[in-house]
Structure 1
Amino acid sequence: MSATTRAVWGRTEQQDFRSRVRGTLLGAAVGDALGAPLDGLTLEEIRQVYGPEGLGDLAFGHGRRGAITHRTQLTLFSVDGLVRAQVRRDTGVWHPPTDLHRAYLRWAATQRDWGPDERRKDDGWLAREEWLYARRSPDRACLRGLGDDIMGTLDAPKNPGEPGPEAAARSAPFGLLVGWEPQLVLQLAIECATQTHGHPTAYLAAGAYAVIMHALARGESLEAAVQRALALLAPRPGQQPVADALQHALGAVRQGMPTPEGIEELAGSGTAERVLAVAVYCALVGEDVRHGLCLAVNHGGPSGAAGALTGGLLGALHGETALPPAWLAELEGRPTMLVLADDFAMETTQGAALHSPTGAAPGWLARYPRA
């Protein structure tokens, strides 16, 4: 990848960016926790269990309310990998997809091991968080793609027949690289998606979602963000299903009040581009964050993935303070997410002071080792 641009930050800009980073991670996690208990249920079954209006509050899953799944786990390791990539850049050895692959392998270890291995000093602080060592219905494509040390690439993707939304659901952090050019954000998200989901609609949907997030993090409207993604996708082979789904989402906004049946039609077979369309639609038509998230999960499609994608959009669009406080209070792992979000914001705005060759901070390098 070519060099990226560096942003100049004032205090107000730093505070706004930190709020959007926090909003993105917390919003995606809340959407994941809200929708996960509905995964595998039909719309009729959802109404039988939760009433005619469907689910309207956090429900029990994995033994508690507010439990996150592998989608949030992988999103957090995406952030960790991005910070580590920026730290390693000072060494002159810089290939972000490789750093993200290493981060995803650290996640894969949490799915096999009982707990952190203190002998692995280069794992960094996130991999030592014991609460992450919980197997939360991990996607089989993720486990297969990260089951060995071989990294999937565009030329040799892992699981080339897998069109699901799980790679997109961990891709929100790529959009927070606000100092990068949008086409580089698109490329990085695509390359990292191919490490587990090698079908073109899966990795292009992940790239489109990252571009949309990138525009939102820079203060653009959601409609403008979608148009930017469509423009950048246009020359990519295999992009038409993703473009059609996004256009369908934009058109559906003008077709009256949202209904679960209409959202289910958008979701279709639950492939990545269709779930992305659900997220865009629900973020556009929701009266507030809570309403948008409830719309996103109450259907017979992949509710957890749809909730995660929608929550990321709404969190980036409105910031941390727009998220429902009662849901945040019950969200599993919230303290870790806040620390990670603030670390990412600090790396983005003050990275040169933390790990440049002339001014490295030992504490930062202990948290995010270069190795």
Structure 2
Amino acid sequence: MSATAGAVWGRTEQQDFRSRVRGTLLGVAVGDALGAPVDGLDLQGIRELYGVEGLVDMVPAYGRRGSVTHLTQMTLFSVDGLIRAQVRRDTGAWHPPTDLHRAYLRWATTQRDWGPDERRKDDGWLAREEWLYARRDPVRTLLLGLGDETMGTLEAPKNPGEAGPEAAARSAPFGLLVGWEPQLVVQLAVECAAQTHGHPTAYLAAGAYAVIVHALARGDSLDGAVQRALALMAARPGHQPVSDALQHALGAVRQGMPTPDRVAGLIGDGTADGLVSAAVYCALVGEDVRHGLRLAVNHDGPSAVAGALTGGLLGALHGETALPPAWLAELEGRPTMLELADDFAMEMTQGPALHGPAGSSPAWLARYPRGA
């Protein structure tokens, strides 16, 4: 986002952007929460519990309806890291992957500690949200990747053999950098994915997913957004599995009525390319958000990550008001998500007024400290 970005946003554009930011974060969380109770079950197991149609509504996980997993937690810390990167830019320290890594380390702390440590003044407000200090089945890859202070890079990635979908599932916020060029969005998402998932399939899937969200947040159609991603991916070494998976998603749309078997076929062995492909498919063929998310969680594959990825796409495409109100009402942490989404929208549209050369807001810098 340029230093003068705030000057080019009209009121209507700001409202649309805020709705898409809210929609993206809430969409990730709603899809995650819908899939969490059946994560790890196959379709037969889901139908035995919930009937022939499978899971059609929020049911309890982790002791309550609407609970989210580590996928949503990390997505929120992605947003926090992006805001902090913008705030730190004024100091001349402009390296967003470092700010994202620090944010992910703050998430890792929530998985080790019982609650916030008020002595860590540089943590900012998100890391003081007590509800985030819940361990929601984070995969070992994440804990290993963030188990020390060393930041994984494309040259020296963490977990170089890991092709799982978790890095892609935290990458929707990169797509909300609507003032950035698409290739820069891809690069940032790819670099940040390599901090935990070092296999090219994992980090390139994260880049593809982020740039699809980016096109949607700028008003493109989902089909058009996927075509843009394919064009950008083509220049990246190792892109073929991800590109092929996206092509398979587009092809599956023309194969008739959506079925759980078709979703499971796209997911394949559960690597990042397959999950992003399935999410694109569910978002494309869903009659509405509710239908798309139900498709995303009722199959033999991992339900929470498929739901989260699909929800991010649908939220960016349609905005906040398209999400099912009854599901939002039960969503764990919703006030935090709305607050963070609105902060992100304000930073991206009015950042210079909050911490620019002309003056700064002490309250904003207390929420998003420059120190860490």
Q: 2:35 is paired with a residue of what secondary structure?
A: helix
The answer to whether the 8 Å contact 2:84/2:369 transfers is yes
Count of aligned residue pairs for this structure pair? 370
Tell me: CA distance 1:156–1:326, structure 2 relative to 1, closer, same or farther (3 Å): same
Using a 3 Å threshold, how does the CA distance of structure 1 residues 328 and 3 change in structure 2: closer, same or farther? closer
Q: Matched residues in 1 for 2:44 and 2:264: separation?
A: 12
Instruction: Give the structure 2 partner of residue 268 of structure 1.
Output: 268
**Residues 77/101 of structure 1: CA separation in 2 closer, same or farther (3 Å cut):** same
- SS of the residue corresponding to residue 304 of structure 2 reads helix
Give distance in 2, aligned partners of 1:186 and 1:162.
19
Structure 2 partner of 1:166: 166
Q: Report the counterpart of residue 78 of structure 2 in structure 1.
A: 78
TM-score w.r.t. structure 2 length? 0.98
Kindly provide the amino acid, as one letter, of the partner of residue 344 in structure 2.
Answer: F
Other-structure match for 1:224? 224
Tell me if structure 1 keeps the 8 A contact 2:71–2:170: yes
What are the residue-to-residue correspondences of 1:159-308 with 2, within 5 Å?
Answer: 159-308=159-308
Kept in 2, the 8 Å contact 1:24–1:315? The answer is yes
Distance in 2 between residues matched to 1:108 and 1:73, nearest whole Å: 10
For residues 125 and 356 of structure 2, the distance between their equivalents in structure 1, rounded to whole angstroms, comes to 20
Q: 3-state SS of the aligned residue for 2:238?
A: coil
Task: Work out the CA distance in 1 between the residues paired with 2:262 and 2:103.
Answer: 37
Q: Which runs of 5+ in 2 are unaligned?
A: none
Correspondence for 2:310: 310
On the 8 A contact 1:162/1:197 being kept in 2, the answer is yes
Matches within 5 A, 1:322-333: 322-333=322-333
Tell me the CA shift for residue 38 of structure 1: 1.3
Any idea what SS the aligned residue of 1:151 has?
A: coil
Q: 1:4, CA displacement in angstroms?
A: 8.6
Give CA-to-partner distance per residue, 1:166-209, whole Å, 9 cap, x none. Answer: 00000000000001000000000000000000010000000000
CA distance in 2, matches of 1:5, 1:149: 34
**Aligned twin of 1:126:** 126
Paired position in structure 2 for 1:29: 29
Q: Is the 8 A contact 2:75 2:170 kept in 1?
A: yes
CA contact (8 A) 1:279 1:306 kept: yes
Runs of 4+ in 1 over 3 A off after TM superposition: 2-7
Measure the CA separation in 2 of the matches of 1:309 and 1:9.
Answer: 28
Shift of the alpha carbon at 1:37? 1.3
Q: Deviations over 1:203-235 (max 9, x none)?
A: 000000000000000000001100100111101
Q: Which structure 1 segments of 5+ residues have no match?
A: none
Equivalent position amino acid for 1:366 in 2:
A
1:93 alignment counterpart: 93
Q: 1:5 to 1:287 in 2, by over 3 A?
A: farther
Partner Cα separation in structure 1 for residue 113 and residue 314 of structure 2 = 34
Distance 1:236 1:6 in 2: 30
Question: How many angstroms apart in 2 are the aligned matches of 1:135 and 1:33?
Answer: 15
TM-score of the superposed pair, with normalisation by structure 1: 0.98
The 2-side partners of 1:366 and 1:353 are apart by 15
| Identical pairs, percent | 81
The answer to whether the Cα contact below 8 Å between 2:3 and 2:352 also exists between their aligned partners in 1 is no
On the 8 A contact 1:4/1:180 being kept in 2, the answer is no
1:261-300, Cα deviation, whole Å (9 max, x unpaired):
1111111111100000110000000000000000011011
Q: Distance in 2 between matches of 1:272 and 1:3?
A: 32
Pairwise CA RMSD: 1.1
Say if 1:26 and 1:320, in contact at 8 Å, map to a contact too. yes
